[in-house]
């Protein structure tokens, strides 16, 4: 009777281990490894597919960041911000800025990763960005502040943008 027990235990361990390894090999094609400034994050394809318009969710958009030698996507970006973006993908599309990350850095990161416009707008509203002061185009942010800017366009013309006082009146001179 005592001899049967170790054989049973070995059989169980072998079966479990073999099944586990076999399952992990099958899942490998469904896994996407993302390296953000040296820290690895792992996604399942189906998780990213829930957000097809984002940088990571769209295979064509993320292709340019693929490192074939390491078989991973590499982003030289702000790692603490990406931890929140990772949580956004993994846990149902809810975005929360970490308290130790500045809001302008986090905004730049979520715009780089091309999260949905509704998510970016909701984030801006939660952080108190006034709608009239923020112009969003092509996933880049230009914030108008109390300063003097000189804008040029291929040396053909120049404009001076001046914001006056607390009324934040915008004047453009050509």
Please determine, for residue 154, whether its predicted confidence score (pLDDT) is greater than 50: no
- What pLDDT score does 93 carry? 80
Are 81 and 101 spatial neighbours (Cβ–Cβ below 8 Å)?
A: yes
- What pLDDT score does 164 carry? 44
Kindly provide the b/e burial profile for residues 100-118, where b requires at least 16 CB atoms within 10 angstroms of the residue's own CB. Answer: ebeeeebbbbbbbbbbbee
Which residues of the chain form beta strands (DSSP E)?
31-36, 39-44, 66-67, 72-75, 134-137, 140-143, 148-153, 157-164, 169-173
Strand partners, 161: 149, 172
Taking Cα atoms as reference points, which of 127, 142, 132 lies closest to residue 169? 132
User: What average pLDDT does the segment 35-47 reach?
Assistant: 95
Domains annotated for the chain, with CATH where assigned, are: 4-143 (3.30.710.10), 144-174 (no CATH)
pLDDT by residue (tens digit) across 90-115?
998 889 999 999 999 999 999 999 99
Please give the mean pLDDT across all residues of the chain: 74
Please determine, for residue 30, whether its predicted confidence score (pLDDT) is greater than 50: yes
């Amino acid at each position: 009777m005592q001899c049967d027990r170790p054989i049973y235990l070995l059989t169980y361990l072998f079966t479990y281990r073999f099944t586990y390894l076999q399952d992990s090999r099958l899942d490998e094609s469904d896994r996407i490894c993302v390296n953000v400034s040296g820290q690895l994050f792992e996604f399942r394809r189906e998780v990213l597919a829930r957000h097809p318009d984002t940088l990571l969710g769209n295979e064509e958009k993320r292709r340019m960041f693929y490192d074939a030698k390491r078989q991973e996507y590499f982003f030289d970006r702000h790692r603490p911000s990406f931890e929140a973006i990772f949580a956004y993908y993994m846990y149902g599309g809810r975005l929360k800025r970490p308290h130790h990350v500045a809001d302008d850095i986090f905004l730049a990161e979520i715009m780089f990763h091309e999260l949905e416009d509704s998510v970016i707008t909701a984030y801006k509203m939660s952080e108190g960005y006034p709608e009239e002061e923020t112009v969003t185009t092509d996933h880049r942010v230009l914030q108008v502040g109390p300063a003097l800017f000189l804008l040029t366009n291929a040396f053909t013309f120049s404009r001076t943008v001046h914001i006056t006082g607390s009324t934040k009146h915008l004047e453009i001179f050509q």
